[in-house]
C-alpha cells in the first residue's frame, strides 16, 4: 500500500505519519526530507538559492519517483505538493490520499513559533499570519479536497487521528 498524507503546513503530517507507520507497520517517508537528502540542501536554502519554481519542479520529480517505485510506504507531502501541475491527479492514481484538515486558529498556533524555518511564511508579520493562512488555504483547499479521505485534526491527539485514518482505509 502507498498512503499519502497531505494538508497545509503545520497540520501534523509528519507526526501523524509517524504514528501511522507504527500502527500499520509501514515505512515512513517525508517528501521534504527526501528532497533535502537528494539535493544536499535544506528546503529553505533551495528556496533562497534557486527559487520556488526550481523547488516545485524538484518536488514533482521526487513525488513521481516515489509513487512509481514498487515500495510500500506512508508519504507525508509538503503543504504545496498537491497544488502544482497535475500532482493531485497522479497522487490519486497511484496512492490512497488522506487530507489532514486543520482550521486557521490551529495552524496559527502551530506555525507562529516555526515561521523562520518556513520560506513561504518567514517574512509574514505575526499579526498578519492568520489572514495570510486564510487566503492561502482558500486557494489550496480545492486541491486538498480531492483527497480520497479527509480527517479533521483540530484538538485531537495524534494517535486518535492515526486510528481514525486506519479505520477509514
Ligand atoms: C511548503 C510546505 C513545506 C515545504 C516548503 C513549501 C508549502 O512543507 O515543502 O516549505 O508550499 O506549503 P511542510 O508542509 O511539511 O511544512
pLDDT in tens, the chain (169 residues): 999 999 999 999 999 999 999 999 999 999 999 999 999 999 999 999 999 999 999 999 999 999 999 999 999 999 999 999 999 999 999 999 999 999 999 999 999 999 998 999 999 999 999 999 999 999 999 999 999 999 999 999 999 999 999 999 9
Q: Whose CA is nearest to atom 9 of ligand 1?
A: 78
pLDDT, position 65: 98
pLDDT at 153: 98
Enumerate the β-bridge partners of residue 99: 6, 150
- Asked if the interface predicted TM-score (ipTM) of this complex is over 0.95, the answer is yes
The residue among 5, 9, 41 whose CA lies nearest residue 116 is 9
**What cell numbers appear for 32 in the block?**
521534504
Cβ density class 71-110: b for 16+ within 10 Å, e for less: eebbbbbbbbbbbbeebbebbeebbbbbbbbbeeebbbee
Measured from CB, residues less than 6 Å from any atom of ligand 1 are 9, 13, 32, 43, 78-80, 118-120
Please state the domain extents for the chain.
2-168
Residue 91: predicted pLDDT = 98
Of the options 3.40.1010.10, 3.40.50.720, 3.40.50.300, 2.60.40.1730, the CATH number for the domain spanning 2-168: 3.40.50.300
How far away, in angstroms, is 34 Cα from ligand 1 center?
A: 13
Going by C-alpha positions, the residue among 2, 146, 15 that lies closest to residue 82 is 146
Q: Say if residue 62 carries a ligand binding annotation.
A: no
**32 has binding-site annotation:** yes
Amino acid at each position: 500500500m502507498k498512503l499519502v498524507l497531505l494538508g497545509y503546513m503545520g497540520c501534523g503530517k509528519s507526526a501523524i505519519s509517524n504514528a501511522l507507520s507504527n500502527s500499520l507497520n509501514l515505512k515512513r517517508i517525508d517528501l521534504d526530507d527526501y528532497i533535502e537528502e537528494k539535493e544536499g540542501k535544506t528546503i529553505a536554502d533551495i528556496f533562497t538559492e534557486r527559487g520556488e519554481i526550481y523547488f516545485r519542479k524538484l518536488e514533482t520529480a521526487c513525488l513521481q519517483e516515489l509513487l512509481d517505485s514498487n515500495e510500500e510506504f506512508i508519504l507525508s507531502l509538503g503543504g504545496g505538493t498537491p497544488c502544482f501541475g497535475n500532482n493531485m491527479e497522479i497522487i490519486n492514481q497511484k496512492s490512497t490520499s488522506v487530507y489532514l484538515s486543520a482550521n486557521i486558529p490551529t495552524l496559527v498556533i502551530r506555525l507562529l513559533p516555526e515561521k523562520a524555518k518556513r520560506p513561504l511564511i518567514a517574512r509574514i508579520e505575526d499579526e498578519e499570519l492568520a489572514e495570510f493562512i486564510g487566503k492561502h488555504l482558500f486557494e489550496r483547499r480545492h486541491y486538498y479536497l480531492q483527497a480520497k479521505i479527509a480527517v479533521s485534526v483540530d484538538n485531537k491527539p495524534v494517535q486518535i487521528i492515526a486510528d481514525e485514518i486506519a479505520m477509514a482505509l
